[in-house]
């Protein structure tokens, strides 16, 4: 997924894996993938919430509770505009796509994608989900 997102990302959007977001003094999650509106910097070790446009969490048995409830709540409260959660279903991956409601500072579901993911925001991307690695 990371490679495909890097290919689709427009200039000025950097796609990274497992990079820290400093939400506040005590919360520094590391989403599986993120996209940030910053220039590439090989020395960067973290992002601030206002730099991040998309966070993606891939749910595993060990991370299920955090990825489904705690992290989305914290990302929304920090003002990160887009959140995707990838679930492993019997038929393959499913991507749950959310967009931030800025009034309530909570995410609103905008779709569940199986087989193909096609979105226009935070940037246009089409992914063949069958091609994702397990």
- Domains, the chain, in order of start with CATH, read 2-131 (3.90.1570.10)
The pLDDT of 96-120, averaged and rounded, is: 97
CA distance 30 to 49: 12
CB 126 within 8 Å of CB 118:
yes
Confidence (pTM): 0.94
Query: Which pLDDT score is estimated for 134?
Result: 53
Secondary structure class of 113 (helix, strand, coil):
strand
Among candidate residues 117, 75, 76, 110, the one with its CA nearest the CA of residue 95:
117
Long-range contacts, 36-43 (Cβ 8 Å, 24+):
37/12, 37/13, 38/12, 38/14, 39/12, 39/14, 40/14
Running DSSP on this structure, what letter comes out for residue 72? H
Q: pLDDT digit string (tens) for 22-54?
A: 999 899 999 999 999 998 888 999 999 999 999
Query: Which pLDDT score is estimated for 133?
Result: 61
Instruction: Tell how many helices (H) and how many strands (E) occur in the chain.
Output: 3, 10
The pLDDT of 9-14, averaged and rounded, is: 95
CB 74 within 8 Å of CB 57:
no
User: Average pLDDT of the chain?
Assistant: 94
Q: pLDDT digit string (tens) for 54-65?
A: 999 999 999 999
CB 49 within 8 Å of CB 73:
no
């Amino acid at each position: 997924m990371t490679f495909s997102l890097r290919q689709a990302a427009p200039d000025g959007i950097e796609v990274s894996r497992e990079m820290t977001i400093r939400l506040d003094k005590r919360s520094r999650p590391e989403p599986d993938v993120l996209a940030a509106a910053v220039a590439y910097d090989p020395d960067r070790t973290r992002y601030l919430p206002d730099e991040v446009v998309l966070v993606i969490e891939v749910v595993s048995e060990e991370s299920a509770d955090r990825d489904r409830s705690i992290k989305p709540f914290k990302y929304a409260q920090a003002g990160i505009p887009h959140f995707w959660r990838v679930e492993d279903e019997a038929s393959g991956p499913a991507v749950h796509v959310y967009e931030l409601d800025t009034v309530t500072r909570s995410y609103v579901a905008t779709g569940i994608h199986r087989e193909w993911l096609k979105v226009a925001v935070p940037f246009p991307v089409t992914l063949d989900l069958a091609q994702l690695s397990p």
